[in-house]
Amino acid sequence: MTFLRRLASRLVQTAAVVLVVTFVTYWMLSLLPSDPCFLSVGTGATEELLAECRERLELDRGLFAQYGAWLGNMVTGDLGESYRNGIQVTESLADKLPVTAWLILYTTVLSVIVSIPLGMLSAVRRDSWVDRLITGGAFSLLALPSFVLGVVLALVFAAKLGWFDLGGYVGPTEGLLAHWKSLVLPVVTLTAGIMPFFLRLLRSDVITTLQEDYVEAARAKGLPRRWILLRHVLRPSSFTVVTVAGLNAAQLVNGALVVEIIYDLDGMGTYLISAVFNQDFLVVQTLVALIAAGFVAINMLVDAMYPLLDPRVRVRNQ
Amino acid sequence: MRAVFDPLVIEDETGAPQPYLLESFEANEDFTTWTFRMRPGISFHDGTPADAHALARHFEQVMSNPLAQQLFNRAQGWEVVDDLTLDFHSSAPFAGLPAGMTGQMGYLAAPSQHDDPDGAANPVGTGPFVFKSWIPDAELVVERNPNYWRTDAEGRALPYLDRIVYRPYVEPDVRRLALETGDITVTHYDLGLDSEHYRENFKTIEEQSLLQTLYVMLNNARAPFDDIRARQALAHCTDHETYNLLRTAGEFDIANGPFAPNTPGHLPDNGFPDYDLEAGRALWAEIGDPGTITLGTTPDAHYRIGAELLAQMWADCGIDVEIQQLDQGTLILNAVMGNFQAAVWRNHNGATVQNERVWWDSSYTGFIAINMGRIKNPEIDAALARATLTDDRDELRRIAEEVNRALAGGVHNIWLHWVRWLIPHHEDVQNLGWITLPPPDGRPVLNILEGRTFLTETWLAQ
Amino acid sequence: MPGRRSLAALRGQGPVETGGSRLRLAEQPLGFWLAAVWLAALTFFVLLAPVLGFVADPEAYSRNVLQGVGWSHWFGTDELGRDMFARVVWGGRLSLMIAAISVAVGILIGGLMGLLAGFFGGWVDTLLSAVINILLSLPALILALFIVTVLEQNTRNVTIAVTILAARAVARIVRAQTLRFRQREFVTAARCMGARTSRLIFREVLPNLLPIIVAFTFLGLGLVIVGEGGLSFIGKSVPAPAITWGGILAVAKGKLSAAPHLTIYPAIVMFCTLMAVNYIGDTLMRRFDVRQSLI
């Protein structure tokens, strides 16, 4: 019951935040001296065409009315169309969202795969040279923002060694191998950006768990070490992994924006940036709203689910 | 798009318009009526005939585009005389009409494409290749048109190639790598810096005539460049030689105007101001401090660096510059609306001065201006007006020279260099680019125009 | 020691054990000193760039294009023959200036917001937390990009954009810390003795926040250097011809294979700088025993 109430209040809060964010961004973009009709009508504009366009877009209505209409459309799934080229945003998203989604999925999977053994090793051999090497390495990665690491990886593995090309994204339907090959460097770049968070938390998590009574008990029972690590240590820590994955969504979106530019991937990041350079503000507005909503929703979910996932926290809360 | 569509008219190496898909064009005495004759027996990819009715439908479509309305503002109407003949009437002499049909306006699309609301994404033409698929920003695929109307000299059906895949690569370096790894077999290059590298490592063809000009377009209607002294100062402060050396590795010729060598109107000396730091500084000081100048360019690194170089040259003269990077579309839009001070531009192949009217004539400086630089120069207006009255190539050349001098005298733009496109390709690609006129003329005329090439008569060696 | 961290701890809202643990410089590991020396050297170059004779004019072009590393050009030259060392130094001048200002202002604004929200609770907290949550609802780069898009693209507005990044992070941490102190015995005691609110805030709570603020100064520098760098990499920071680190890398990207030195040296400098601020910040955080996952 408390959980449901908590969830409900969280939902209301989240909705409020999304509402305010979208309104503020809408309002700010509407202050810009740019006329969507110029974009829409383009180089062939005449006074009449512009007037007609303004009428069609109902630009003379008040801010609230315009925002309301926009929000209504968004909620019903009509994301509008680009003023610039008339292409439906939903249509573009269908092309571009998968690119970013694959990028984020692979990155999360790779981060987990890499950080679990390293984190465990680091924790078990706490303060040894292995631990220092791993934590030190992870710490250095934090000093490599994606636009530095991405460019350097492109330099070494694409330009110099020629192992990968920078020819952009290949869809999974065009051959899995080519698909993976086109995403290796971007995913590695992104992973380097978030893996340290996973690693760090896993390490301290495992260290704490190792000191728990039930681990001691298992050890006393003479259970094999590997079994203890898997059954009693890693399983509770998986909650941490889920949480960190959620909390690092923002980091991933930041990174994806940059990585897509470096590796010429036609995903959400490139879409947003080209909309910015095109002054295609409806697309900017829509994308920012979607990102904010998705991001806030993930945070809410992680927050709400956390006590549910980890029995120990649930127990303590009672 | 040259693969899917045939141009109604094509420019030859001297810039003179020649009928291509059209069998002929012919004007009356005072150039107010043009008679266009279509070739018999040609059909679009959808099987419908490419006849005078299709041509009429095409003109109808073209005229619904406000931009084209401006280009063809003298058009009055047209009538289909018979299945293959169409008369085009204009309210005033319009000697430049065929020349105006060499570009986009002359790509004859099928009525079915015009009727299709998604027509732009499903092009239907008469060209050597049939549109197959298009993924924006990723890939365009065309396949051989088995019913193409042209044959080679031995009577074999054209084209030779079965299929062409076009892939856009934004970064020049990436494009080069793609060519080197064999992902692509042909590419094009216009920056000069890597030209030598391409020549050493690949077979190349190079553009020979009708070169476009790279320049800094100035807004002649907005401070400070509404003052000729500001424009002169900027010209004096631009070290063309260094710019050309650093940005094109000295590959290209330094431009003194929009008429490259081999184009009618070219002059070795047209009076454009020389690099002269002192003179520039003095002129700039004379007009007082107009604040920071905004120089617009596209977001890619190459043009950004070029803009930085210009900014520094001008800074050495006491001119403060800020670079504004915008997507090409936005850059053009801002220019059309006059919402800019200076911008790096590439335009004007100089084929025929008649086609340049819309860019330089003062009547095109309205609210939405194709004369984006808002040039208002009576000498230019008068010369361009005369160009609408004649199709005599010598007379047109003299007019072009006049315009050239007037443009230089008014310092309406800062000319940088003439861009010579290079098409590097793999060994096995044969007879790239050269297009021959249809018989009876049959002579090869062009290999590259503005970086685009024809693949109609190209084949791959086995 | 609590057996299990709470979710709050994961987000840098965890328990603080201040008190006796003071930072003793002499006890710091070698890395700390290396980091400090790097930052000192960087500051020296960046501040004195205009008067140091051996730092060339970063904008002067020449025909010595794309020269490799050598005595006359420590980091080589770029496509316009400009000295890359000078460009990195001057790029750092602008990037670090923006970073320093935005961290200072961000701590001031964000700290105040967090302090007030945490101390007063109630509707003040509700209101300020809402603002903080709204600011936190977008990934950093998207938020900064949006702000620069809406405002005009110039030095001031880029600074504003990254200041908001710093402020929102500070506000969150300071609020959480203040919440803890508010209930501590010494604050309660002072309150019972009739101390005025302003005294409670500034004499009792604020001094306890100082360690974390000091630590954040460094971590925040890292945060905003990355933020501004990302912006200028996209081409939305201070417009060219102004030089920024991100801008240098963005332009060098086009010459990866032909001129790797254009990428490598600026990347190394940036890496060392971020490493230094992260390391110092992290060491301080641990010294003050602040559980955090800020960076």
- A166 contacts in chain B (CB < 8 Å): 171, 174, 177
Find tokens 């793999």 and name the residue. B426
What is the structure's pLDDT at B279? Answer: 93
B93: preceding bond cis by omega (within 30 degrees): no
Q: Which of residues 260-299 of B touch C (CB under 8 A)?
A: 299
- What's the rounded Cα separation, in Å, for the pair C64 and B308? 16
- What's the rounded Cα separation, in Å, for the pair A53 and B293? 33
Give the rounded percent of residues in chain C with a pLDDT score beyond 70: 88
Q: Helix %, strand %, coil % for chain C, to 5?
A: 70, 0, 30
Q: Average of pLDDT values for A289-299?
A: 84
A46 pLDDT higher than 70? no
More confident residue, A43 or A203: A203
Q: Helix %, strand %, coil % for chain A, to 5?
A: 80, 0, 20
* ipTM score of complex: 0.83
For residue range A135-162, what is the model confidence (pLDDT) as tens digits?
Answer: 888 888 888 888 889 888 888 888 778 7
- A257 contacts in chain C (CB < 8 Å): 141-142, 145, 230, 234
C62 dihedral zone (left: phi>0; alpha: psi -120 to 50; beta): beta
For residue range C7-21, what is the model confidence (pLDDT) as tens digits?
Answer: 333 333 333 333 334
Q: Say what the pTM is.
A: 0.85
What is the structure's pLDDT at C25? Answer: 56
- What's the rounded Cα separation, in Å, for the pair A98 and A315? 40
Q: Average of pLDDT values for A231-257?
A: 75
How many C-beta atoms surround the C-beta of residue C188 within 10 A? Answer: 13
What is the structure's pLDDT at B370? Answer: 83
What is the structure's pLDDT at A34? Answer: 66
Q: Average of pLDDT values for A61-76?
A: 81
A1 pLDDT higher than 70? no
Task: Return the partners of chain A (3 or more C-beta pairs < 8 Å).
Answer: B, C
- What's the rounded Cα separation, in Å, for the pair B160 and B147? 12
- Compare CB distances from B309 to C80, C239, C253 and report the shortest one's residue: C80
- Residues C229, C246: contact at Cβ < 8 Å? yes
Edge-to-edge, what's the strand order for the sheet holding B139-144? B129-135, B139-144, B163-166
- Of A6-20, A144-158, A162-176, C13-27, the least confident: C13-27
- B312 contacts in chain C (CB < 8 Å): 59-61, 80, 241
More confident residue, C10 or A15: A15
B230 residue type, one letter: A
- Compare CB distances from A167 to B66, B68, B174 and report the shortest one's residue: B174
pLDDT averaged per 10 residues in sequence order, chain B, 462 residues: 86 88 91 92 92 91 75 83 92 88 85 84 90 82 91 84 86 82 87 88 87 94 92 94 90 92 90 93 90 90 91 93 87 86 90 85 81 92 91 91 94 94 89 81 80 82 72
Cβ distance of A258 and C141 shorter than 8 Å: yes
Min distance C62 CA to chain B CA atoms (Å): 8
C193 pLDDT higher than 80? no
Cβ distance of A160 and C130 shorter than 8 Å: no
- Compare CB distances from C235 to B308, B313, B325 and report the shortest one's residue: B325
Give the rounded percent of residues in chain A with a pLDDT score beyond 70: 85
What is the structure's pLDDT at A59? Answer: 66
- What's the rounded Cα separation, in Å, for the pair C253 and A103? 21
Confidence of residue C57 (pLDDT cuts 50, 70, 90): confident
C294 pLDDT higher than 80? no
Maximum pairwise Cα distance, chain A: 86
- Exposure string of A2-30, with b = 16+ CB inside 10 Å and e = fewer, is eeeeebeeeeebbeebbebbbbebbebbb
- A277 contacts in chain B (CB < 8 Å): 299, 325-327, 330
- Residues C138, A21: contact at Cβ < 8 Å? yes
Token couple for B25: 């064009």
Q: Is some CB atom of chain B closer than 8 A to the CB atom of C149?
A: no
Q: Is some CB atom of chain C closer than 8 A to the CB atom of B312?
A: yes
For residue range C143-177, what is the model confidence (pLDDT) as tens digits?
Answer: 999 999 888 888 999 999 999 999 998 998 888 88
Q: Please report the beta strands in B156-280, taking only residues with DSSP state E, as ranges in sequence order.
A: 163-166, 203-206, 212-218, 253-254
- What's the rounded Cα separation, in Å, for the pair B254 and B444? 28
- Exposure string of A36-68, with b = 16+ CB inside 10 Å and e = fewer, is bbbbbbbbbbeeebbeebbeebeeeeeeeebbe
Q: Is some CB atom of chain A closer than 8 A to the CB atom of B168?
A: no
Q: Is some CB atom of chain B closer than 8 A to the CB atom of C289?
A: no
- What's the rounded Cα separation, in Å, for the pair C9 and C2? 11
- What's the rounded Cα separation, in Å, for the pair B299 and B283? 31
SS3 category, A118: helix
- Which phi and psi (to 5°) does residue A232 adopt? -100, -20
H helix count then E strand count, chain C: 11, 0
Tell me which DSSP letter residue B338 carries.
T
